[in-house]
Amino acid sequence: MSRIATPSAGGPTAWHDLDPLTRLVVSVGTLVAAVLLTGVVCLLLLTLVAVLLPAALARQLRRVLVTGLLLALPLALSVIIVNVLFSIEGTVVASLGPLEITEEGIALAAEVVARVLTMAGAAVLFYVTTRPSELVASLQHHGVSARLTFVIHNGVAMIPRLAERAHEVTAAQRARGLDTEGNWLRRGRGVVAVAAPTVLSAVRETEMRTLALETRGFTRPGRPTVLRVPHDSSTQRVARWGVALALVLLTLARATGALPC
């Protein structure tokens, strides 16, 4: 394998300058911490430190906030409706017809909404500051198999293409009288009518793509050349291991009940 030791061009901010793997570790670490932590205060503190500060550093605060809120909104609304309006146990603070609102329901909904916002923020921060191609190059640089990075990169690229195809199929089926707004039975039939042609055309393409790849030496042994070497450093390596260690300690603290929140 050969590597061209040409570092990629520096990012617009210090956050963008980090190795994409470091940003991924921070994002995954935030997500795991959000799973382990309970209590609104702890979760909001985590959001501030691991999402909002890096987002401000990357000059993406507004975008992270808006996109994160938009992504979290449907789930947050469901959380509030199910846990506040349909909570059955606890101290009743208000009634809406047959529905009773309890203190415990409000507390649970607040905690889950805080967790949902933290997770959405962490994922969006990574997404808006990292191109898939950058991550793939970084993963290859760090020794991940070229076959795996091919799958990841193509999986991401395939989403908009498949969505476009699904829109075309939906429009064509609607023109033939498909009802996607009717009762459950009609919607269920709609799923099959849209999914089947979308899936079949995509699956049929794989045959040609396989032949094209094999003729271009995809199965050749050895590792491909990494053209863009990410900005890694010993500090970042220590930081990545630090995040991993912190998560192990957090897990142990949660398991032993030593965590204050």
Partner 1 sequence: MSQAWLRVAGGLAVFALIAVAGMTALAGPDFDDALDTFTLAMVVAIPAGVVAYALIEYLQTRRLDSITRQFDTRTLVLMPVAMALNIVLGTAVASALKIPIYLDSVGTILVAALAGPLAGAATGFLSNVIWTYLAPPPFQSPFAVPFAIVAVAVGLLAGTFARWGWLRPRRGASGQQLAIGSALSVGALVLMTVIALRAWRIADEGRDLAPHADETAFVILGWAAMLLVAGTAIGLVVLLVRWRDLAAAYILLAGVITGVVAAFIAAPIAAGLFGGVTGSGADFVVAAFRQAGADLEQAVLGQSLISDPVDKVITFFVVYLILGAMATRTIARFPQGEYLLPLPDAEDVADRDA
Ranges within 161-200 binding partner 1 (CB under 8 A) = 161-163, 166, 180, 184, 187-188, 190-192, 194-196, 198-200
Find the largest Cα–Cα distance for the chain.
71
C-alpha span between 170 and 257 (Å, rounded) = 51
Under rule CB under 8 A, residue 259 binds partner 1: no
C-alpha span between 149 and 139 (Å, rounded) = 7
Q: Which stretch binds partner 1 (CB under 8 A): 5-13, 42-50, 78-86, 171-179?
A: 78-86
> CB 133 → partner 1: shortest distance, Å?
11
Q: 3-state DSSP call for residue 190? A: helix
Under rule CB under 8 A, residue 142 binds partner 1: no
Name, in order, each residue with C-beta under 8 angstroms of 240's C-beta and a sequence gap of 6 or more: 21, 22, 25
Q: Which residue's CB is nearer to partner 1, number 130 or number 236?
A: 130
Contacts of the segment 6-9: beta carbons below 8 A, 24+ positions apart: 6/227, 6/228, 6/229, 7/228, 7/229, 7/230, 7/231, 8/134, 8/137, 8/228, 8/229, 8/230, 8/231
Q: Which residue's CB is nearer to partner 1, number 5 or number 192?
A: 192
> CB 27 → partner 1: shortest distance, Å?
7
> CB 229 → partner 1: shortest distance, Å?
21
Q: Which residue's CB is nearer to partner 1, number 74 or number 238?
A: 74
Under rule CB under 8 A, residue 247 binds partner 1: no
Under rule CB under 8 A, residue 253 binds partner 1: no
Residues 22-41 binding partner 1 (CB under 8 A) are 24, 27, 31, 35
Q: 3-state DSSP call for residue 35? A: helix
Q: Which stretch binds partner 1 (CB under 8 A): 2-10, 40-48, 114-122, 228-236?
A: 114-122
C-alpha span between 138 and 19 (Å, rounded) = 7
Residues 204-243 binding partner 1 (CB under 8 A) are 204-207, 209-210, 213-214, 218-219
How many helices and strands (H and E) does the chain possess? Answer: 10, 2
Q: Which residue's CB is nearer to partner 1, number 7 or number 188?
A: 188
Under rule CB under 8 A, residue 122 binds partner 1: yes
C-alpha span between 2 and 106 (Å, rounded) = 58
Q: Which residue's CB is nearer to partner 1, number 55 or number 120?
A: 120
Task: Please identify which residue in 54, 126, 138, 226 interacts with partner 1, judged by CB under 8 A.
Answer: 126
Q: Which residue's CB is nearer to partner 1, number 67 or number 236?
A: 67
> CB 5 → partner 1: shortest distance, Å?
27
Q: Which residue's CB is nearer to partner 1, number 6 or number 201?
A: 201
C-beta separation of 30 from 46 below 8 A: yes
Tokens of 224: 């491909």
Q: 3-state DSSP call for residue 96? A: strand
